[in-house]
Amino acid sequence: MHNASGQATPSSGPSTSKRASGPPARAVIKLGTGVLTRGIGEFDAERIAAICEQVARLRASGTQVLLVSSGSIALGMGRLGLKRRPSDVVKKQACAAIGQGLLMQMWQSHFAAHGITVAQVLLTHEDLRNRTRHLAAKATLESLIAYGVVPVINENDTVSAAEIEALLRFGDNDTLSAMVASLVHAQHLFILSTAPGLIDLDGTGEIVPFVPKITPQIEAMARGTASETAVGGMVSKLSAAKLALRAGCSVFIASGAEPDIIARLLRGEGPGTFFAPHGLPLDAKKRWLLHFQRPTGTIHINACAVPVLREQGRSLLAVGVTHASGRFEAGDIVDVAAPDGTLIAHGKTGYSSADISALAGLKGAAVKALHPKRRRHEVIHRNDLALL
């Protein structure tokens, strides 16, 4: 149900037609620490067994499943007798190193009852940012799926200090699960935690069952988390949902403690929030540009160039550029900013920041005179540009 402004509002539940009509071909299921553990460092065996049974039934219906599993840091905290999540990165890494093996033992022992083999896949942002490693990670996941294995994916917290801090800012494994869903072209992403869904805290206090679009009003409903073992809260879940939706993947946010929650969500019956994808999915290269890259600088453009990129889908030429900020080389990923500072795209630049200082505002003939040996003179070719 929607009000006059188009904001999603709580209702008794969306019709089944608003949700998936059947099991998806491929699904990513993200499980939060609070779902898998009792307090700090103790598995919730009964709940984990129930989740494994749900995954087994989903696979039996024809769906390929990938898990993104939190819990390693919390399990390591338990073994070390820590009551609070460490603030020091190295201590977090130590907890993750201890807990990761425990986590995989837990998943394999519970899935063994269903004849399912699991595989540990540890990723850093660099694995997805670098195009070669990005494709290698995708190939590995595709190979595991082809063998009938359930990949259990987690952030490689034990080796990358910069990455663990970046991930924590964006919400633990919520963002990682959305990146994985985009990477493998999943139809559905289930984000299961202790949160029952998106709740209209300042309004009805009820779960919003259906969100056709994430608006500022929807984002205002989000809150963080006060948990000692988790980070991010609903803020990170909405951020992850936006990423997945952009790739054409539907998103469910629901409580992993609810009985048979995955099947109920697919039937349109379970308590939780369903986010519908909008528009057409980006092609694989533009998804990589848009979601897996960390821009190293910014190319600023004039007002005339904005509709050329946004509405006409053309390449960015030097005549539309005003200046560059930051230092970058040709081939780096950069932001593209409108005159008012609004970021409108990411793209792979054909020129370094030093080159752009000399090229800004020049027409084609002048650019060719400066770089006569180049075959292409676009600052960013349209095939290397992803609009935000």
Q: Are 60 and 22 in contact (CB under 8 A)?
A: no
Average pLDDT over residues 193-222: 89
The answer to whether residue 11 is domain-embedded is no
Asked if 214 and 330 sit in the same domain, the reply is no
Tell me the H-state helices in 215-343. Answer: 216-219, 233-246, 261-266, 284-291, 305-310
What's the rounded Cα separation, in Å, for the pair 9 and 7?
6
Domain membership flag for residue 103: yes
Q: Which has the higher per-residue pLDDT, 244 or 284?
A: 244
Q: What amino acid occupies position 56?
A: A
Two tokens, residue 191 = 């984000």
pTM more than 0.85: no
For residues 79 and 171, membership in a common domain is answered with yes
CATH number at residue 340: 2.30.130.10
What pLDDT was estimated at residue 22? 60
**11 annotated as a binding-site residue:** no
Q: Are 233 and 309 in a shared domain?
A: no
Quote the number of domains for the chain.
2
CA distance 375 to 308: 22
Residue-wise pLDDT tens digits, 24-66: 899 999 999 999 998 777 899 999 999 999 999 999 999 999 9
Mark whether 109 and 211 lie in a shared domain: yes
Range of the domain at 305: 295-387
Any domain includes 183: yes
Is residue 376 situated within a structural domain? yes
306 and 221 both lie in a single domain: no
Of 261, 286, 311, the last residue of a domain is: 286
Overall size of the chain counted in residues: 388
According to the annotation, is 157 in a ligand binding site?
Answer: yes
CATH of residue 32: 3.40.1160.10
| Cβ atoms 299, 319 nearer than 8 A | no
Q: Return the amino acid letter for 346.
A: H
Least reliable range by pLDDT among 216-220, 223-227, 244-248: 223-227
Residue 167 lies in a domain: yes
User: What integer pLDDT is reported at residue 139 of this predicted model?
Assistant: 96
Residue 286 is predicted with a pLDDT of 80
> 264 and 356: one domain?
no
267, 286, 305 — which closes off a domain? Answer: 286
User: How confident is residue 275, by pLDDT bands cut at 50, 70 and 90?
Assistant: very high
- Whether residues 252 and 381 share a domain: the answer is no
**Bigger pLDDT: 277 vs 324:** 324
**How many Å apart are CA 104 and CA 152, to the nearest integer?**
8
What distance in Å separates the CA atoms of residue 264 and residue 284, rounded to the nearest whole number?
A: 31
Does residue 225 lie within any of the structural domains? yes
Q: SS3 of 367, please? A: helix
Task: Indicate whether 7 belongs to any domain.
Answer: no
Residue 320 has pLDDT above 70, yes or no: yes
